[in-house]
Structure 1
Amino acid sequence: MTATKVNQKEINDILFKACDTFRGILNASQYKDYILAMLFVKYLSDVYRERYEELSQQFKGDKERIGRRLARERFVMPEGCTFYDLFDQRNATNVGEVINTTFEKIEDANRAKLQGVFRNIDYNSEANLGKTKDRNRRLKKFLEDLNDPRLDLRPSRVGNLDVIGNAYEYLIANFAAGAGKKAGEFYTPPEVSELIAELVDPQPGERICDPACGSGSLLIKCGNRVRRTSEDFSLYGQEINGETWALAKMNMFLHGMDRARVEWGDTLREPKLIEDDTTMKFEVVVANPPFSLDKWGYKSAQSDPHNRFHRGLPPKSKADYAFISHMIETTTLESGRVGVVVPHGVLFRGGAEGKIRQQLIEENFLDAVIGLPANLFFGTGIPAAILVFKRNRPDKDVLFIDASREYADAKNQNKLRPEDVRKIVDTYQAREFVDKYAYAAGFDELKENDFNLNIPRYVDTFEEEEEVDIAKVQGEIEELEKELAEVRKEMAGYLEDLGVL
């Protein structure tokens, strides 16, 4: 079957049905790891199987030569460790243990790329998957679902990585929809990721970083934007949650971004992307960090070795400006750009945050404030904004865009439509006044407002009510009352005829 005949929806539906095995015993934020890790191994196995068949024909079954060539492939699959070997053992009384051991062997054979990726996933967990009999039944059904012949992920069938990468993103999106508040820890809606990528406009040759990368979707959007014209870009990320970090690693491989460097750790307390004893510098830094994170490392930040918080320390209970400070300090001096999602409180809160905000404006870093619709992000219904920062800006004005009223009103989650994203990007690039939508405020105006960035102060969205014609309305009321009196009179006549009155 050729790549053009692969049905993305069919693959997505098969994978989503496979999740039924775990629904009801685990929530989506937990069972996503079991599904996505096995899908990743299934993909590696299909690639390996096809490559083995090709080399068998080329070397006429010479196992020694085949083995030497397979050892130089993108991923190495130890003997007896493919998905199909697991499928053959689906009836084993210790199938969970078999899966765990197989994953460990795959990780050991690919340490440079996969070290630690499977360490947090236990297919033999009684607490998560039930007692032995139930656990074995569930895992057998799960392996059988993924063995569906329509889920053939060999390169000759899927053509390129888009199909499997899209399927992975599809599952992550569905897990986010069912994960409640946990979803915000690993997922940014694709339309928001696309919007940020358009705003920061990464270019060939640039280094792109997300210091709170979740499952990596925002980084991938930025990479794909450059990839339209060039493969010359570098992706870097850091993620505090070990399970989510593993998803990001697998997600990068499934999108063909093997050179991406994604570190596991706390960005604010211990940044892992270090170069020459200080934080690495990037042309583009993007993030959707957790909103107003409490207990973020205020004490350790007081003696930060990288001097990221020299404009002041954010409050102990709100890390928003800690992330912003880190992001700005890790941009290159010549052309650094930052795109970050923030709660609206970042725009106007006073105290330490107000002082940091004022200094960032006075240093001419803030380029744009973009208000987004409410209920756009999983896990929270509050409206958010995107802040764009730039180094070496030629002007000192700040563009305000109120995009909060233009979206698709979905059942559970609002969504930016392609035309909404396009309008925001076009307006940002033009930097022109648009009535009730966009306004560029000069430095003096920002100063007059005490550097408060609350969007309604700059973008007037007030709709004047149509003037009411009192005489006309009074006439309409009198006419209605007259019609009502006639109806009552007619009704009384009917009732009298019936002997009721």
Structure 2
Amino acid sequence: MNTPINQDALNKALWAACDTFRGTVSADTYKDFILTMLFLKYISDVWQDHYDEYKKQYGDEPELINEMMKNERFVLPPGSSFYTLYEKRHEPGNGERIDQALHALEEANGTKLRDASKSVFQDISFNTDKLGEEKQKNTILRHLLEDFAKPELNLQPSRVGSLDVIGNAYEYLIKLFAAGGGQKAGEFYTPPEVSDLIAEILDPQEGDTICDPACGSGSLLMKCGRKVRDRFNSKKYALYGQEAIGSTWSLAKMNMFLHGEDNHKIEWGDTIRNPKLLDKNGGLMHFDIVTANPPFSLDKWGQDEAEHDPFGRFRRGIPPKTKGDYAFILHMIETLKPRTGRMGVVVPHGVLFRSSSEGKIRQQLIEENLLDCVIGLPEKLFYGTGIPAAILIFKKDKPDNSVLFIDASCEFRAGKNQNLLTAENIDKIVTTYRTRESVDKYSYLASLKEIQENDYNLNIPRYVDTFEEEEEVDLMAVRTERVALKAQLAALETEMDAYLKELGYGS
């Protein structure tokens, strides 16, 4: 099947493959199987495509071809191809065979599929009791292999063309899993419109280093990289990330490779308790752009260790034990480059006005002239929570000490379960951010003095007045209308009485 691939058809075929699991396994569990199988199928199809090309060039010379194949982006060791697994699908032991193939793939590709302490497939086992007893598990995995062997899922480069098609399909699946993922959805996915908005505001440049310390599946990071590619036709940038949840870290690694993002370093571990992105002296690395959508108000984030933090991240104050929002903000501030550093972070609204230790930290950040902009977003934008959020923009090198407030909470397209930011909504926010102008009922450029007079409270309604006066009621007009309605009612009553008399019901 050499017809060019259609993005919609590919997406539908992948989503249909999920039918194998529906009713048997929760989506939160089977998402890992589907996304991992897509990764394995793509690598296998690329390998096969290139092998066939060399065969055309050099004839049936397996030793020569195998030598040439060692230069591939990925090495596919014998027995680990999707097609080997597919041929044996009717035999017992599908789960064990798939796990062995993934392990061989990791071993053959060195650091590409692992970091210092963890491998990409370590938390993903197809040989798990979650798929039922052995016979049921073997049947489910046979169906999965058959789904991915369908012609619609032929992912050979000669048919696919741009690698974006595969990356887009991977993102499509992640988005659908997030939409049905409930509370856990926010752990691995930021809505693409929000990622677009943040990336546009942070304005990545050629040569930038870009970091997300709570990177989830990596979509926000890659949006920033994409801006550089689209604007400068260049891949001169580097992506860095850290993710605490092992299976989500695996998604991020696979996502990077399926998008062709080879210049990345994604570490596994708790960013607050154990930051892994360190320089050669053991200090925190510094980046041009730092951006994240960290977990909202994380409980037990590591307050007990913060006082003795070896990196000095909490010198402005220690956030409360049950709310880790400022822990992430302070970590991100400390990893900004002194001149070019700029940062965008998604936060719950409480970050803008909560007092006590958070109030003191907020005051310090404002006094240091780091806060650049506060953007209020609509409710129901994020998966797993209906609450409205805000984006805080920080900059290391600000020309003045003003802070721009934007209230975009009412500007969205309503969806059935999820609201969306449209391209127009995003353009309006970005334009307002760049012009830094006060717009009636939408934005306000506040001076440091005004913020001080508000006790460093950043609650947006204190600065952007969105109050709409109700239209004055003309009482005389209402009275006239009421008199007219009473007259109409009396006429109808008289008419009704006449009809009733005609029918013999009159007195």
TM-score exceeds 0.5: yes
Verify: 1:190 aligned to 2:192, yes or no: yes
5+ unaligned residues in a row in structure 1: which ranges? none
Please say if residues 263 and 272 of structure 1, whose CA atoms lie closer than 8 Å, have aligned partners that are also in contact. Answer: yes
C-alpha distance in 2, partners of 1:134/1:302? 52
Verify: 1:280 aligned to 2:285, yes or no: yes
Residue 236 (structure 1) aligns with: 240
**Aligned pairs for 1:38-49 within 5 A:** 38-49=37-48
Of 252, 256, 259, the match for 2:260: 256
- Deviations along 1:125-182, whole A, 9 cap, x unmatched? 12x1111222122111111111111211111111121000000000000000111110
- Deviations along 1:250-306, whole A, 9 cap, x unmatched? 000011101210000000000000102111000100000000000000011110000
Residue 461 (structure 1) aligns with: 466
- Deviations along 1:51-91, whole A, 9 cap, x unmatched? 11111222222211111121221100011221111111111
Verify: 1:353 aligned to 2:328, yes or no: no
Note the C-alpha offset of 1:100. 1.1
Residue 379 (structure 2) aligns with: 374
Of 105, 114, 122, the match for 1:119: 122
C-alpha distance in 1, partners of 2:150/2:262? 27
SS in 1 for 2:320: coil
**Aligned pairs for 1:192-231 within 5 A:** 192-228=194-230, 229=232, 230-231=234-235
Of 479, 488, 491, the match for 2:484: 479
C-alpha distance in 2, partners of 1:150/1:6? 8
C-alpha distance in 2, partners of 1:496/1:7? 73
- Deviations along 1:215-274, whole A, 9 cap, x unmatched? 000001000001121210000000000000000000000111012100000000000001
Note the C-alpha offset of 1:2. 7.4
Of 480, 487, 493, the match for 1:488: 493
- Deviations along 1:335-362, whole A, 9 cap, x unmatched? 1001000000000000000000001000
Verify: 1:435 aligned to 2:434, yes or no: no
Residue 88 (structure 1) aligns with: 87
C-alpha distance in 2, partners of 1:93/1:2? 33
Note the C-alpha offset of 1:98. 1.1
Length, aligned pairs only: 499
User: What percent of counterpart residues are identical?
Assistant: 59
5+ unaligned residues in a row in structure 2: which ranges? none
Residue 392 (structure 1) aligns with: 397
Which residue type is aligned with residue 156 of structure 1?
Answer: S
C-alpha distance in 1, partners of 2:191/2:444? 26
Verify: 1:411 aligned to 2:416, yes or no: yes
Residue 426 (structure 2) aligns with: 421
Of 311, 318, 321, the match for 2:316: 311
Residue 141 (structure 1) aligns with: 143
Note the C-alpha offset of 1:496. 2.8
Distance verdict in 2 for CA 1:2–1:418, change over 3 Å? farther
Of 179, 182, 200, the match for 1:180: 182
Note the C-alpha offset of 1:104. 1.0
Distance verdict in 2 for CA 1:159–1:361, change over 3 Å? same
C-alpha distance in 1, partners of 2:197/2:25? 33
Deviant stretches of 4+, over 3 Å: none
Residue 265 (structure 1) aligns with: 269
Verify: 1:12 aligned to 2:17, yes or no: no
C-alpha distance in 1, partners of 2:215/2:80? 30
Range with greater deviation from structure 2 (83-92 or 284-293):
83-92
Which residue type is aligned with residue 313 of structure 2?
Answer: R
Which residue type is aligned with residue 98 of structure 2?
Answer: I
Which residue type is aligned with residue 126 of structure 2?
Answer: Y
Range with greater deviation from structure 2 (318-327 or 76-85):
76-85
Residue 27 (structure 1) aligns with: 26
TM-score w.r.t. structure 1 length?
Answer: 0.98
